[in-house]
Chain A
Amino acid sequence: MTARAYAFNSADFAFETFANEIVVLNVVEGTYFAFGGSSIDIWDALANRRPVQAIVDATAARHGVPARLVEQELSNFIAKLAAEKILLAAQPADDPISLPASPPTRGFQPFSFEKHDDMEDLLTLDPIHDVDPERGWPRY
Chain B
Amino acid sequence: MAALLTTRFVPTREFIAGPADVADCLYSFLSSRGTAGQPQHVQFGRSVVALNFHGFTDDTRYDRALKPARAPQLGPDFTIDVIDGAASGMPQLKLAWQGADFGRKRTVPGWSDEDRTTYLLPEERGVAVAEWTRHRAAIWVPSCDAVPWYERAAPFRWLFDNLALRLRMSMLHAAVIGRDGVGVLIAGRGGVGKSTLALAALGRGLDYVADDYCLLTDDACPKAYGLYVTAKWKKDASVLPAWLMRTTPDALDLSQRKCIIFLDVARPAQLVAHLSVAAIVVPSIADVAEPRLESLSQQAALRSLAVSTVAQSEADGAALLRNIGRLVRTVPAYRLHMPPDPDASVSAIEALLGRKISEPEHAVRH
* B is bound to A: yes
Minimum C-beta distance from B271 to chain A (A): 27
Known contacts: A23-B302, A127-B104. The answer to whether A122 contacts B317 by CB under 8 A is: no
Instruction: Choose from A15, A16, A131 the contact partner of B99 (Cβ within 8 Å).
Output: A131
| Interface flag for B205 (CB, 8 Å) | no
| Interface flag for B258 (CB, 8 Å) | no
Known contacts: A125-B106, A131-B98, A136-B94. The answer to whether A32 contacts B307 by CB under 8 A is: yes
| Interface flag for A138 (CB, 8 Å) | yes
| Interface flag for B306 (CB, 8 Å) | yes
Contact A119 B311 (CB under 8 A): yes
Contact A21 B299 (CB under 8 A): yes
Contact B318 A130 (CB under 8 A): no
- Give residues 83-135 of A contacting B (CB, 8 Å): 116, 118-120, 122-125, 127-131, 135
Cβ–Cβ < 8 Å partners of B103 in chain A: 28
| Interface flag for B132 (CB, 8 Å) | no
CA distance A23 to B303 in the complex (A): 8
Contact B311 A138 (CB under 8 A): no
Cβ–Cβ < 8 Å partners of A129 in chain B: 99
Interface string of B100-122 (1 = CB under 8 A from A): 00111110000000000000101
Instruction: Choose from B98, B302, B308, B312 the contact partner of A16 (Cβ within 8 Å).
Output: B302
CA distance A23 to B320 in the complex (A): 14
Instruction: Choose from A14, A15, A122, A130 the contact partner of B308 (Cβ within 8 Å).
Output: A122
**Chain B residue nearest to A120 in the complex (CB):** B311
> Which of A30, A123, A129 has the largest number of chain B CB atoms within 10 A?
A30
Cβ–Cβ < 8 Å partners of B297 in chain A: 18, 21
> Which of A34, A125, A127 has the largest number of chain B CB atoms within 10 A?
A125
Minimum C-beta distance from B362 to chain A (A): 24
Instruction: Choose from A29, A32, A140 the contact partner of B104 (Cβ within 8 Å).
Output: A29
Instruction: Choose from A14, A119, A135, A140 the contact partner of B122 (Cβ within 8 Å).
Output: A140
CA distance A129 to B302 in the complex (A): 33
Contact A138 B93 (CB under 8 A): no
Contact B317 A14 (CB under 8 A): yes
**Chain A residue nearest to B103 in the complex (CB):** A28
User: What is the number of residues of chain B that contact chain A, defined by CB distance less than 8 Å?
Assistant: 38
CA distance A125 to B311 in the complex (A): 11
CA distance A130 to B98 in the complex (A): 6
| Interface flag for A27 (CB, 8 Å) | yes
Known contacts: A16-B321, A21-B299, A135-B94. The answer to whether A125 contacts B310 by CB under 8 A is: no
Known contacts: A131-B98, A137-B92. The answer to whether A30 contacts B299 by CB under 8 A is: no
Contact B299 A137 (CB under 8 A): no
Interface string of A22-58 (1 = CB under 8 A from B): 0101011110101000000000000000000000000
Interface string of B2-15 (1 = CB under 8 A from A): 00000000000001
Cβ–Cβ < 8 Å partners of A123 in chain B: 104-105, 311-312
22 residue pairs of the A-B complex, CB under 8 angstroms, read A14-B322, A18-B298, A21-B297, A23-B299, A25-B307, A25-B321, A27-B316, A27-B321, A28-B317, A116-B303, A119-B307, A119-B308, A122-B190, A122-B311, A122-B312, A123-B312, A125-B105, A125-B122, A129-B99, A131-B95, A131-B98, A138-B120
Known: A123-B311, A125-B105, A137-B125. 18 other contacts (CB 8 A): A14-B310, A18-B297, A18-B298, A18-B302, A23-B302, A23-B306, A25-B310, A25-B321, A116-B303, A118-B189, A119-B189, A119-B311, A127-B102, A128-B99, A129-B99, A137-B94, A138-B99, A138-B122
